[in-house]
C-alpha cells in the first residue's frame, strides 16, 4: 500500500520545554531545536541565496525513518530569508535553505529511552548559549555563533548583523554586567523581531478521499461543462467578432485550454485543502508527490539536483500557504509569500550522525488571478 499523506497543524505548544531538542519536536519559528550537535550548518551556509543576509529558522519536522537504525532520530530544518524582495521569483532554493540530520538510537547526546511527557521540574530554561558539545550559539538566531562580543567576550553571534541587532536591543546595557555565577543579567530573551513566532507542529493522518473513483468521474464531468461555458463566454462576452476571426481555431482552443488547465490544477488544490483548511504541512516521503497550486512552474526531473552522494532526491513534504497566516509577515506592499514550498530529500537518506546535509526546496507561486 502506498504511504498515506500526513498533515501538520500549528498549535500552541503549552510549554516551551516541549520544543527543546531533548523532546524531538516538530515546530515552527523561534530558534532551531538542533538534533545532532556535530556538523551544524555554519553562518555562510545559512545566508539567503538572493540578498546574502542571514536566514531565519522557519520550521523543523521530526521525521525518523522506520527500518533505518541510522535514522532512528531524523529531523529536517528549513530556513527562510526575512526580506520580502527575495520572494519575487519562483523556483529553486533562493531565499530558503533546507538541512537534514539523523542519529542512531544509541548516540552521545540523547538517552535511548523516549523523553518523559511531563515538563521538567523548575522554571523553563532560557534559550541555550551553547550546545552540549560546547559550540557557541548566536544570541539572536540560535545558529552557530563563531563571533563574540569584543567587550564581554561572552555574547556569541553568527555574524555582524545579529551582533548589531542585539546591541541595539539591549546588550549595550547588559554587556559586562554579569556578576560571577549569575547569568540573569544577560539571559537570552526567548523572542526577538528576527525570529518567526513559535508553534508546535501536530501531525495527523489525512482522511482518505471518499469515494475515490466517483469523484474522478464527477471531476471529468465538471471539466467538460466548464470548457463549453468558457468557450461560450469567449464568444459572447467582450471579444469583437472580427477579432475572433483573426485568431484561428487552434489558437483559440489553446488559449481556452491553457486557462482551464491552470484553473483545474488550482481547483484540485483548493478541493484537497478544503477538507482540512488549517493544514500547514503535507508529508509523504516518496509518496505520490506534492499538491501543486498551479500548472506552471513545476520542476522537471532535471531541475531537481541529485544528492551529494549521487542518489536521486525524492519528494518528502510540502509547506502550505496557510503557514503564512501564522508568521505575521503581511506588510504594506511586498510580503514574504509563496503558493507552496516543496522539499526533496536524498532517496538513500545518506550521511552519518555528524553532519547536516543540505537538501533541495522548490517554491511554486500562484498563477495570475488564482489566490486563496
Ligand atoms: Zn534574502
Ligand atoms: Zn544569528
Ligand atoms: Zn558584550
Ligand atoms: Zn544522499
Residue ranges with CB less than 5 Å from ion ligand 3? 149, 151-152, 155, 175
Task: Give me ligand 2 centre to Cα 141, in Å.
Answer: 4
At 152 the pLDDT is 92
Tens of pLDDT along 52-72? 999 999 999 999 999 999 999
Distance 10 CA to ligand 2 centre (A): 24
Shortest CA distance to 339 belongs to which of 294, 306, 298? 294
What integer pLDDT is reported at residue 248 of this predicted model? 74
- Three cell numbers, residue 26: 516538530
For residue 36 the three cell numbers come to: 545532532
Nearest ligand to the CA atom of 172: 3
Distance 313 CA to ligand 4 centre (A): 8
Q: Which ligand is nearest to the CA of 48?
A: 1
C-alpha cell at 308: 551529494
Q: How far is the CA of 143 from the centre of ligand 2 (A)?
A: 6
Gap from CA of 235 to ligand 2 centroid (Å): 58
- Helix 249-274 to helix 212-236 angle (10° resolution) is 140
Domain positions in the chain: 6-125+194-205+279-364, 127-189, 212-274
**d(C-alpha 164, C-alpha 149), whole Å:** 10
pLDDT at 2 over 60: no
Say how many Å lie between the CA of residue 44 and the centre of ligand 1.
13
pLDDT at 308 over 50: yes
Q: Report which bound ligand comes closest to the CA of 155.
A: 3
Tens of pLDDT, residue by residue over 310-361, are 999 999 999 999 999 999 998 778 899 999 999 999 999 998 778 999 999 9
Q: Of the ligands numbered here, which is closest to the C-alpha atom of 86?
A: 1
Say if residues 100 and 64 touch (Cβ distance below 8 Å): no
The number of beta carbons lying within 10 Å of the beta carbon of residue 167 is 16
Q: Read off the pLDDT of residues 171-230 as tens digits, 9 standing for 90 and up.
A: 998 887 765 555 566 788 889 999 999 999 999 999 887 554 444 444 444 444 444 444
Shortest-distance ligand to the CA of residue 43 = 2
Q: Which pLDDT band, with edges at 50, 70 and 90, does 276 fall under?
A: very high
Radius of gyration from C-alpha coordinates of the chain:
24
pLDDT of 244 higher than 90:
no
Q: How far apart are the CA of 32 and the centre of ligand 2, in A?
A: 11
Residues 343 and 317: beta-carbon distance below 8 Å: yes
Three-class SS of the chain: CCCCCEEEEEECCCCHHHHCHHHCCCEECCCCCCCCCCCCCCHHHHECCCCCCECEEEEEEECCCCCCHHHCEEEEEEEECCCHHHHCCCEECCCEEEEEEEECCCCCCCCCCCCCCCCCCCCCCCCCCECCCCCEECCCCCCECCEECCCCCCCEECCHHHHHHHHHHHHHHHCCCCCCCCCHHHCCCCCCCCCCCCEEEEEEECCCCCCHHHHHHHHHHHHHHHHHHHHHHHHHCCCCHHHHHHCCHHHHHHHHHHHHHHHHHHHHHHHHHHCCCCCCEEECCCCCCCCCCCCCCCCCHHHCCCCCCCCCEEEEEEECCCHHHHHCCCCCCCCCCCCEEEEEEECCCCCCCCCCEEEEEEEECCCCCCCC
* CA 288 distance to own-chain centroid: 19
Q: How far is the CA of 100 from the centre of ligand 2 (A)?
A: 20
HSE (side-chain half, CA atoms, 13 Å) at 30: 26
Residue 326: count other Cβ atoms within 10 Å of its Cβ: 16
Q: From ligand 1's centre to the CA of 80, what distance in Å? A: 8
Which ligand lies nearest to the CA atom of residue 88 in the structure? 1
- Ligand 2 centroid to 237 CA: how many Å? 56
Query: Ligand 1 is a single-atom ion; what residues have CB below 5 A from it?
Result: 48, 50-51, 81, 83, 86, 95
Q: How far is the CA of 280 from the centre of ligand 2 (A)?
A: 26
Q: What are phi and psi of 99, to 5 degrees?
A: -130, 150
Report how far residue 99's alpha carbon sits from residue 358's, in angstroms, rounded to the nearest whole number: 4
Rounded to the nearest whole angstrom, what is the distance from the C-alpha of residue 89 to the centroid of ligand 3? 39
Distance from C-alpha of 293 to C-alpha of 321, rounded to nearest angstrom: 10
135 CA to centre of ligand 3 in angstroms: 18
- pLDDT tens for 132-184 read 889 999 999 999 999 999 999 999 999 999 999 999 999 998 887 765 555 56
d(CA 338, CA 58): 13
Ligand 1 center from residue 91 Cα (angstroms): 14
Amino acid at each position: 500500500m502506498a504511504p498515506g499523506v500526513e498533515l501538520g497543524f500549528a498549535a500552541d505548544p503549552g510549554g516551551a520545554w516541549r520544543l527543546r531538542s531533548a523532546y524531538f519536536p516538530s515546530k515552527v519559528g523561534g530558534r532551531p531545536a538542533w538534533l545532532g550537535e556535530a556538523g551544524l550548518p555554519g553562518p555562510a551556509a545559512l545566508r539567503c541565496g538572493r540578498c546574502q543576509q542571514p536566514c531565519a529558522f522557519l520550521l523543523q519536522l521530526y521525521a525518523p525513518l522506520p527500518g533505518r537504525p541510522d535514522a532512528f532520530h531524523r529531523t529536517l530544518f528549513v530556513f527562510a530569508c526575512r526580506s520580502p524582495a527575495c520572494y519575487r521569483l519562483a523556483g529553486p532554493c533562493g531565499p530558503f535553505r533546507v538541512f537534514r540530520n539523523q542519529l542512531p538510537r544509541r548516540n552521545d547526546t540523547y538517552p535511548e529511552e523516549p523523553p518523559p511527557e511531563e515538563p521538567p521540574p523548575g522554571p523553563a530554561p532560557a534559550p541555550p548559549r551553547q550546545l552540549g558539545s560546547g559550540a557557541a550559539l548566536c544570541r539572536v538566531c540560535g545558529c552557530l555563533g563563531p563571533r563574540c562580543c569584543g567587550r564581554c567576550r561572552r555574547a556569541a553571534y553568527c555574524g555582524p548583523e545579529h551582533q548589531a541587532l542585539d546591541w541595539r536591543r539591549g546588550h549595550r546595557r547588559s554587556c559586562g554586567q554579569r556578576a560571577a555565577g549569575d547569568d540573569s543579567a544577560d539571559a537570552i530573551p526567548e523572542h526577538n523581531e528576527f525570529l518567526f513566532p513559535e508553534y508546535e507542529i501536530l501531525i495527523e493522518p489525512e482522511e482518505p478521499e471518499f469515494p475515490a473513483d466517483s469523484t474522478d468521474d464527477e471531476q471529468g464531468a465538471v471539466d467538460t461543462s466548464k470548457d463549453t461555458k468558457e468557450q461560450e463566454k469567449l464568444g459572447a462576452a467582450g471579444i469583437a467578432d472580427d477579432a475572433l476571426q483573426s485568431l484561428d481555431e487552434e489558437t483559440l482552443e489553446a488559449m481556452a485550454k491553457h486557462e482551464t488547465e491552470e484553473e483545474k490544477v488550482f481547483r484540485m488544490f483548493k478541493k484537497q485543502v478544503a477538507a482540512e483548511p488549517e493544514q500547514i504541512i503535507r508529508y509523504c516521503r516518496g509518496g505520490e508527490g506534492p499538491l501543486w497550486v498551479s500548472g506552471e512552474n513545476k520542476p522537471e526531473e532535471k531541475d531537481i539536483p541529485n544528492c551529494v552522494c549521487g542518489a536521486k532526491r525524492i519528494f518528502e513534504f510540502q509547506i502550505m500557504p496557510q503557514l503564512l497566516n501564522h508568521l505575521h509577515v503581511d506588510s504594506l506592499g511586498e510580503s514574504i509569500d509563496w503558493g507552496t514550498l516543496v522539499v526533496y530529500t536524498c532517496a538513500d537518506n545518506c550521511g552519518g550522525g555528524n553532519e547536516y546535509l543540505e537538501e533541495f526546496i522548490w517554491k511554486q507561486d500562484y498563477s495570475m488571478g488564482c489566490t486563496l
